[in-house]
Structure 1
């Protein structure tokens, strides 16, 4: 017996949970590693290639036809030509020397199995019909060949490589239903060959069936991602058009109200004064009476034209646009709706503002509305603070909307100062200018954004430009 004591068993460590997601530190390290391994000069072409692969092309157009760089548009032709130039001579050589196929027949089969890869750049489905037929015919030819026994059948290694290259083109172009049909036909062709000559059958047809399914799944996912991005861009374009139309309708409503409240009011005063002048002024000459009558008639005609103009300005709007415009009394409702949309917003609203000019009341509401909409679109989840208060003198109303950086990880939205069309900020400036106030907007050092408006609460505090309007 040996006196050696048994070695202690190593401690058993607790297995790590399999479903634990990688920590942010691990992700940052991986990104740093990729930046170190892949040169900066190579990352940009790889990024451009990824975007081109994710962008679908219309039927009949070459693959990557929408790529911005010329080398990307020529890349599919170069890849297809490289596959044909390498597979064609190898296929003919292997068929003649290894499988003992007649040279002319081997040349015809090799050409039919590889040359259509050039067609796959523009019409991959048509190329697939040619190649799958040629592959099946080639499998039948190999049954009678002398050197088939002991070698891969029904698909040769060259057939597998060329077919997977073809699946790459098919997956980037065709819809999901077509890809499923192509995959099932691939499996059915291999299964049929196994039924015809089970003694020659090798697992290579199962390998091709599995690999082609993987390639179709990956490329089909890329294509559907590109479709989703294209539809998103189209939807954003439609949304911008609707937003521009809404802004136009709001401006028409504002102009119509101003015409009604200002011009029509003054024209009515002129009409009343002209009609009442002969009764208010004693011993008025007949010529002056006629002049006042002409003035009153012209004023009435102008009022009629004004009413027709108001109808035209409001004709493209909805009945809801005839309702009273919102004001500061509805800012709290606007903030609550923003909170329901997922933006943590807090408000600081003055309890009593007294009598606020109608233009300032409406402009303050619209500025808060547009600023909060920008937060929802460009900084989802960012903490936001809204303040609407008069200054210490009580002569100016200060509207402040400040948001922090977006708290959604992986958000690909651009910041508000570089995304969108900028119509929102332009509209804010126009509204503030109309009231005689000032507007200050811009990004913050922490990645947030600030909108600060200052508008007069009293008519006498307006700027000279406002007072001269």
Structure 2
């Protein structure tokens, strides 16, 4: 009983998706192609069907017109509801077979040519839209009807039923296979988008952890200075009241507690391969050595320091570290994407902010070929790292191609940790 229920359910439950075939295609003419095909088929099959039923099979004109209209009109409905269209066409095929039986021995029976073409065309819409079990149920019903025609009416059988059974099976199987392939490609594309988003998110988290590990050394240095100065204040400064000595002791204790908490946090952020990294963090003073290293990789880079930057006192360590890393990432991208190109690193300072600009020419032999910043999904650094460092310092980042086909990276880093626009507002 359950098998019959499943069979009937397959013949009566269409797929909820009501979009016509190729509705998601990018090109407009591809989306309109199914409408054009249906219009052409209806325009050809409706008049020929009426003529075939009335003239060649001797059917009453009203009935013949009704049968041809239902069979051709079902193709219009098949654009969005192919199973409903089949439910309308199948009874019309049976009625047509009954009224044309024995009327014209020289004509195909029980499948007049217009009926046969309309039915097979409808199979195409069914194959690309409905479920596999529905397609199997439709074909079994088709096979049953064809079998009855060639067993019960052997005298009038001319082989069209065999053609319909075989061709409809081939159309349904081919369409089901193509639809399954398209569905697999769609799911694969969605999975690739999800994986790309996950890789970008993972790269962002890894870059933030990397920045946090580097800034730990900067903050830890300042906290150590605070603790040492607070501990030594009662010995360096004479005549301090007892309340001040106690206050300095509390400051030193708080500083040491903060250092301990930072070390525990660093233990979480650092992986096994970075736990032993104790090297001092680089700054602006290390830029000449960085440019020399890049020169060995085939990119000739020059450092230009404007008067405003030369007049600066030692910049905050976080600013110097971020500026160094931004220059490092920008030059690394020049090496990867514009090998042999020349680059200029320019430092300037104005309105309480340090401006770092890295600009490269197009690579030799490829004029107009800009070297862009690497994508966020490649190594987890590059543009992601630059943005995170600039955001950390409430600065701004501007990247893009130059007029001559090169590329530029400009970062504005506030020296006091605030947006430079706030100080001038």
Give TM-score, length-normalised by structure 1: 0.55
Give per-residue Cα distances to partners, 1:25-57, cap 9 Å, x unaligned. xxxxxxxxxxxxxxxxxxxxxxxxxxxxxxxx9
Indicate the residue corresponding to 2:55 in structure 1: 97
1:266–1:201 CA distance, 2 compared to 1 (3 A): same
Q: 2:271 is matched with which residue: 323, 329, 339?
A: 323
Which secondary structure state, in structure 1, belongs to the residue aligned with residue 155 of structure 2? Answer: coil
Distance in 1 (alpha carbons) for counterparts of 2:237 and 2:373: 68
Distance in 1 (alpha carbons) for counterparts of 2:110 and 2:192: 50
- Aligned partners of 1:153 and 1:204 also within 8 Å: yes
Matched, 1:146 2:103: yes
Higher relative contact order (CA 8 A, sep 6+): 2
1:196–1:303 CA distance, 2 compared to 1 (3 A): farther
Indicate the residue corresponding to 1:247 in structure 2: 203
Structure 1 residue 85, shift from structure 2 partner: 2.0
- Aligned partners of 2:207 and 2:380 also within 8 Å: no
Q: Which runs of 5+ in 2 are unaligned?
A: 1-14, 284-295, 298-327, 338-370, 390-412, 418-425
Distance in 2 (alpha carbons) for counterparts of 1:151 and 1:208: 16
Give per-residue Cα distances to partners, 1:118-141, cap 9 Å, x unaligned. 000011111112112211221122
Which secondary structure state, in structure 1, belongs to the residue aligned with residue 109 of structure 2? Answer: coil
- Aligned partners of 2:128 and 2:179 also within 8 Å: yes
Which secondary structure state, in structure 2, belongs to the residue aligned with residue 427 of structure 1? Answer: coil
Structure 1 residue 216, shift from structure 2 partner: 2.3
Distance in 2 (alpha carbons) for counterparts of 1:255 and 1:99: 85
Q: 1:106 is matched with which residue: 64, 68, 73?
A: 64
Where in structure 2 are the equivalents of 1:10-89 lying within 5 Å? Answer: 59-89=17-47
Give per-residue Cα distances to partners, 1:401-435, cap 9 Å, x unaligned. 89xxxxxxxxxxxxxx999954436713666998x
Matched, 1:194 2:147: no
Distance in 2 (alpha carbons) for counterparts of 1:211 and 1:297: 91
Indicate the residue corresponding to 1:285 in structure 2: 240
Distance in 2 (alpha carbons) for counterparts of 1:169 and 1:106: 25
Structure 1 residue 110, shift from structure 2 partner: 1.2
Distance in 2 (alpha carbons) for counterparts of 1:75 and 1:420: 40
- Aligned partners of 2:38 and 2:75 also within 8 Å: yes
1:205–1:357 CA distance, 2 compared to 1 (3 A): farther
Q: Which runs of 5+ in 1 are unaligned?
A: 1-56, 330-354, 361-386, 389-396, 403-416, 435-464
1:183–1:304 CA distance, 2 compared to 1 (3 A): farther
Which secondary structure state, in structure 1, belongs to the residue aligned with residue 156 of structure 2? Answer: coil
Indicate the residue corresponding to 2:382 in structure 1: 428
Structure 1 residue 191, shift from structure 2 partner: 0.7
- Aligned partners of 1:116 and 1:131 also within 8 Å: yes
- Aligned partners of 1:275 and 1:293 also within 8 Å: no
Matched, 1:121 2:79: yes
- Aligned partners of 1:268 and 1:299 also within 8 Å: no
- Count residues in correspondence: 317
Matched, 1:169 2:145: no
Indicate the residue corresponding to 2:291 in structure 1: none
- Aligned partners of 1:267 and 1:299 also within 8 Å: no
Which secondary structure state, in structure 2, belongs to the residue aligned with residue 100 of structure 1? Answer: coil
- Aligned partners of 1:80 and 1:117 also within 8 Å: yes
Give TM-score, length-normalised by structure 2: 0.60
Indicate the residue corresponding to 1:297 in structure 2: 250
Where in structure 2 are the equivalents of 1:260-409 lying within 5 Å? Answer: 260-278=216-234, 280-281=235-236, 283-286=238-241, 290-291=243-244, 293-294=246-247, 297-298=250-251, 300-301=253-254, 322-325=270-273
Which secondary structure state, in structure 1, belongs to the residue aligned with residue 25 of structure 2? Answer: coil
- Aligned partners of 2:376 and 2:382 also within 8 Å: no
- Aligned partners of 1:275 and 1:292 also within 8 Å: no
**RMSD, aligned α-carbons:** 4.9
Structure 1 residue 273, shift from structure 2 partner: 2.9
